[in-house]
Amino acid sequence: MSDERMVIIVAGPGSVGKSAITLQFITQTFVQDHDPTIEESYQKTLTINNKTFPLEIQDTAGQEEYSTLRSHNFRAGNGFLLIYAVDNRKGFEEIEEFRKEITRAKDCDNVPIVLCANKIDLPIKEHEVSKKEGQDLAKNYQVPFIETSAKEVININEAFQSIVKLVVENEQSK
């Protein structure tokens, strides 16, 4: 791992809540209207079972035209939160492309990834992607699946804990 800090990259299509999830984790507030073009990285230490993990969290901003740059950024990641929003079918369908980019950038098929279905607080009638579809995709990728809400603070810490544990397991199995 690059120096001592584990790099977690928050990736996925636009408007799915990448910044809201990152900022909820970092600042414990729901940021409604984060500038969609801003890429920022944050540092935070997470404690799991009395062990501390210094993290660098990179909030990405997807711009298709810079896909090469994106792959370059992905290369630095030790683990990835791959986010879609349950009210956005188009974004869900783009997840495969992001996963391909991640595996290509890392040149490895079993990169630590946690698939997150965000905006789970929205009323069911607004959902365009079912829980089953998310679970099936995660099963297909052989990665954990977690339903989150940056707005209602559901499973935000859990998502980061899950990816950190996965990175640790992955390092140990090498």
With contacts defined by CB under 6 A, how many residues of the chain interact with ligand GDP? 18
Among 6, 8, 138, 150, interactor with ligand GDP by CB under 6 A: 150
Residue 122, H or E segment: none
Residue 16 lies near ligand GDP (rule: CB under 6 A): yes
Read off the amino acid at residue 108: C
Q: How far apart are CA 98 and CA 148, in angstroms?
A: 19
Question: Interface with ligand GDP by CB under 6 A: which range of 63-71, 130-138, 143-151, 161-169?
Answer: 143-151
The number of angstroms, rounded, from the C-alpha of 92 to the middle of its chain's C-alpha atoms is 13
134 near ligand GDP, rule: CB under 6 A? no
DSSP-assigned states of every residue in 62-98: --GGGHHHHHHHHHT-SEEEEEEETT-HHHHHHHHHH
Going by C-alpha positions, the residue among 16, 1, 162, 7 that lies closest to residue 84 is 16
Among 19, 24, 58, 161, binds Mg ion (CB under 5 A): 19
Binding pattern to ligand GDP, positions 68-107, x when CB under 6 A?
----------------------------------------
The pattern of x and - marking residues 25 through 44 that bind ligand GDP according to CB under 6 A reads -------xxx-x--------
| Binding stretches for Mg ion (CB under 5 A) | 18-19
